[in-house]
Amino acid sequence: MKRAILVDIQRSKNENQKATLRRFSRQSKELQLVRKIRSHRYHIRSKSKNVERTHTLSSLARRKQFNTLVKLGKIDLSDTTRRHKK
């Protein structure tokens, strides 16, 4: 992950730590750094077309295999249709 210096504050000779911190916080508020960082906090990367394609192909292959097993009578549909507990 790339990290860039977004706020650069240099302390001058006659400046105390409180003033430096105040300048830093003021500049970070002006740049809206906290808002930007928090908006990217839960960002989920979208899946690539290749990943989606392989997932779709594998699910189609599973479905096809399931249907052939049902046709052969190896799987009873009355057992598999109810998934939720009553």
Q: Per the domain annotation, does 10 fall within a domain? A: no
| pLDDT on residue 86 | 58
What sign results for the dihedral spanned by CA atoms 62, 67, 71, 77? Answer: positive
Higher pLDDT among residues 41 and 16, named by residue: 16
Domain range for 66: 50-80
For residue 39 the two structure tokens come to 């908006």
Beta strands in the chain (DSSP E): none
Q: Per the domain annotation, does 3 fall within a domain? A: no
For residue 9 the two structure tokens come to 């504050």
| pLDDT on residue 43 | 85
Q: What is the mean pLDDT of residues 75-79?
A: 81
Q: Per the domain annotation, does 68 fall within a domain? A: yes
Number of domains, the chain: 1
| pLDDT on residue 77 | 82
| pLDDT on residue 39 | 86
Q: Per the domain annotation, does 72 fall within a domain? A: yes
Q: Per the domain annotation, does 62 fall within a domain? A: yes
Taking 80 as the threshold, does the pLDDT of residue 12 lie above it? yes
Q: Per the domain annotation, does 4 fall within a domain? A: no
User: pLDDT tens-digit profile of 19-74?
Assistant: 999 998 998 888 888 888 888 888 888 999 999 999 999 999 999 999 999 999 99
Q: Per the domain annotation, does 31 fall within a domain? A: no
Q: How far is CA 25 from CA 9, 16, 21, 34, 82, in A?
A: 10, 15, 6, 10, 58
- Helix, strand, coil % over all residues of the chain, rounded to 5: 60, 0, 40
Q: Identify the band that residue 3 occupies on the pLDDT scale cut at 50, 70 and 90.
A: low
